[in-house]
Amino acid sequence: MKRTLVDVDYGSSDEEAEPTPVPEQKKRYEELRKQLPTLSSELTVLAPVDDPSKHQGRTRTRPYVDGQFVAHVYIPIRPGHASKKFYETIVRLVNRVRDVVPEMHSLVTNSADSPSNGLTPLHVSLSRPIYLRAHHRDEFRTGVQSAAREQTQ
């Protein structure tokens, strides 16, 4: 079988790489764009607005990223009969610190509308905030649970 040589002109690198848009196509695109309906407000997800006045003056240390979740590892302290004295000690300690640092805002309260008979649930953090993508959450949770099981055996 014989092959024939074909003379092909590939152009030079000096020539313009992008073709110029045809004005008719551009007009058609603009017309279609104007015809599309706007999305309902229920379908649009807005990024959270940081309002420090709603969070005791706290601001994010890292900006909000859509699809990123903040997790941390902690041990809950459930106030009961045995820990009521511990809880009262924490409240006294927080009140003393507030005397020294008046701008401190405590999340420890002793009000009737809080859960657990007026005692706010407490926890001891074992980690700093960990930033996870959505597909990493389950793997992270099972990893922490299996590590905790290994430590208790």
103 vs 65: CA distance, rounded Å: 30
**Higher model confidence: residue 21 or residue 70?**
70
Res 92: pLDDT: 85
Report for 49-63, 71-85, 127-141: range of highest mean pLDDT: 127-141
What are the residue ranges of helices labelled H in 45-136?
A: 84-100, 115-118
For 33-50, the pLDDT digits (tens) are 777 777 777 777 777 777
Query: pTM for the complete prediction?
Result: 0.47
Distance in angstroms (rounded) separating the CA atoms of residues 79 and 115: 10
**Full DSSP string of 97-123:** HHHH-TT--------TTSHHHH---EE
In this structure, what is the dihedral angle of CA atoms 81, 85, 91, 97, given to the nearest 10 degrees? -150
Rounded to whole angstroms, the Cα distance separating 99 from 104 reads 9
Q: Which residue has the higher pLDDT, 43 or 21?
A: 43
Q: Find out whether 97 and 134 touch, Cβ atoms under 8 Å.
A: no
pLDDT grade for 112, boundaries at 50, 70 and 90: very low
